[in-house]
């Protein structure tokens, strides 16, 4: 599909912010409102923090995946950019030590509809909860066909950020609280916070294993499709403060997961969803990162791929290689016409592979039951 002719929408990304509401283009996509008139009223200050922002960008040919749609990693990167902007603004809304918000976790993200080249992506973000040291941001992504005016929801995600001091990026600062319009919003947010905190800790302790290459693997085995990408972290990958943007890491993770899925199926593949992405530690400029992916589970129509990110600070002999991030990606196989295809069934060989397969099956059944429950009409 050829890109549309130049138009005003193809200008550089534009940032819109409002103290109370999401812009009209995403009026139907607002997440639960937690008015982020950030603690200013509680402290007597007249300053207000924007409760919502939106970034917009037209999708170009270099954003495409092999199937011709927008790369899932590109969308994840835009989601993180919007979350980083609003959370950093909020954390600096009061007088005190300056900070930058770093991504700690992304909750499950579903790819509800493909985004096409030539469409405009509207990414809206809103702060919905704050704890003492973290910020919850809910993000919606909508695509707009600027030729027909058609709009559709493509993604919804929840991200968690922590404020790091500019003087010492290893120091986590306190977050200004938000003002909630209803008491229930704070209680619901606290439950989400406790749940993600517990899961992050559990995931970190499970991340000791390493993806090892195998010579002459058999087709449809874990070893046959597993893949790794090695990347030297440069200045363009980093914030102004010398550590990697979360969105850059997520884009690389999606690329590796896509390679694993394509090797297993040998067809066009697209990202269907991303389970929680946990960021266990910062990645600094100059590190060599290894992004490894391996198949963990297959159903009739989907594949689950585990992706691990390890960082090696080669310019710092005092620090050992460490696990920086981990996640599970789900892909589906498509024909040339874009129709779903059956997925070749994975053949786990070792005891560890069989264990991971059963764990993946449990996650698959749990999510399937959750979706069926959501589809049922409410009494």
For the chain, the residue count is 379
Task: Calculate the alpha carbon distances from 79 to 69, 98, 106, 159, 251 in Å.
Answer: 17, 23, 10, 9, 11
E strand map for 88-168:
99-106, 109-111, 120-130, 135-144, 151-165
Tens place of pLDDT per residue across the chain (379 aa) = 444 444 433 344 333 333 333 333 333 344 444 444 433 333 434 334 456 899 999 999 999 987 788 999 999 999 999 999 999 999 999 888 999 999 999 998 999 999 999 999 999 999 999 999 999 999 999 999 999 999 999 999 999 999 999 988 889 999 999 988 888 999 999 999 998 888 877 766 555 577 777 778 999 999 999 999 999 999 999 987 888 999 999 999 999 999 999 999 999 999 999 988 999 999 999 999 999 999 999 999 999 999 999 999 987 777 889 999 999 999 999 888 888 999 999 999 999 999 999 999 999 998 888 877 765 544 4
The whole-model pTM stands at: 0.80
CA distance 31 to 22: 9
Return the exposure string of 131-142: e unless at least 16 CB atoms fall within 10 Å of the residue's CB, then b.
beebbbbbbbbb
Instruction: Give yes or no for a contact between 87 and 127, defined as CB atoms under 8 angstroms apart.
Output: yes
- Residue 40 has phi, psi (to 5 degrees) of -65, -40
Instruction: Give yes or no for a contact between 313 and 319, defined as CB atoms under 8 angstroms apart.
Output: yes
Q: Which tokens is 357 given?
A: 């397969």
227-232 vs 268-274, strand pairing mode: unpaired
CA distance 379 to 377: 6
CA distance 34 to 32: 6
Active site residues: 65, 254
What residues contact 205, with CB distance under 8 A and at least 6 apart? none
The H or E element that residue 249 is part of is helix 246-265
């Amino acid at each position: 599909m050829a890109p549309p002719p130049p138009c005003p929408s193809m200008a550089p990304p534009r940032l819109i912010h409002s103290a109370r509401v999401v812009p009209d283009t995403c009026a139907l996509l607002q997440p639960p409102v937690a008015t982020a008139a950030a603690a200013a009223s509680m402290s007597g200050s007249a300053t207000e923090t924007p409760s919502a922002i939106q970034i917009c960008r037209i999708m170009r040919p270099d954003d495409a995946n092999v199937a011709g749609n927008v790369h899932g990693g590109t969308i994840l990167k835009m989601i993180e950019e919007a979350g980083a902007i609003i959370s950093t603004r909020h954390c600096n809304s009061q007088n005190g030590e300056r900070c930058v918000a770093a991504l700690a976790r992304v909750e499950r993200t579903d790819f509800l509809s493909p985004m096409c080249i030539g469409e405009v992506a509207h990414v809206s973000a809103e702060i919905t909860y704050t704890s003492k040291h973290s910020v919850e941001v809910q993000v919606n992504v909508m695509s707009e066909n600027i030729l027909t005016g058609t709009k559709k929801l493509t993604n919804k995600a929840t991200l968690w950020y922590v404020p790091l001091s500019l003087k010492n990026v290893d120091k986590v600062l306190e977050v200004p609280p938000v003002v909630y319009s209803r008491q229930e919003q704070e209680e619901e947010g606290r439950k989400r916070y406790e749940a993600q905190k517990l899961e992050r800790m559990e995931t970190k302790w499970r991340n000791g294993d390493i993806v090892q290459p195998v010579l002459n693997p058999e087709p449809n085995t874990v070893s046959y499709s597993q893949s790794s990408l090695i990347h030297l972290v440069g200045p363009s990958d980093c914030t102004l403060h010398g550590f990697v943007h979360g969105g850059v890491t997520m884009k690389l993770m999606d690329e590796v997961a896509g390679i694993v899925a394509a090797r297993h199926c040998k067809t066009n593949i697209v990202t269907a969803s991303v389970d929680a992405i946990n960021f266990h530690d910062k990645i600094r400029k100059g590190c060599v990162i290894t992004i490894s992916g391996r198949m963990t589970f297959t159903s009739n129509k989907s594949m689950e791929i585990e992706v691990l990110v390890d960082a090696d600070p080669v310019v710092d002999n005092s620090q050992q290689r460490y696990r920086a991030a981990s996640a599970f990606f789900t892909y589906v196989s498509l024909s040339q016409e874009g129709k779903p295809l059956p997925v070749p069934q994975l053949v786990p060989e070792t005891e560890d592979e069989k264990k991971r397969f059963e764990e993946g099956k449990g996650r698959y059944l749990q999510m399937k039951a959750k979706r069926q429950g959501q589809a049922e009409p409410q009494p």
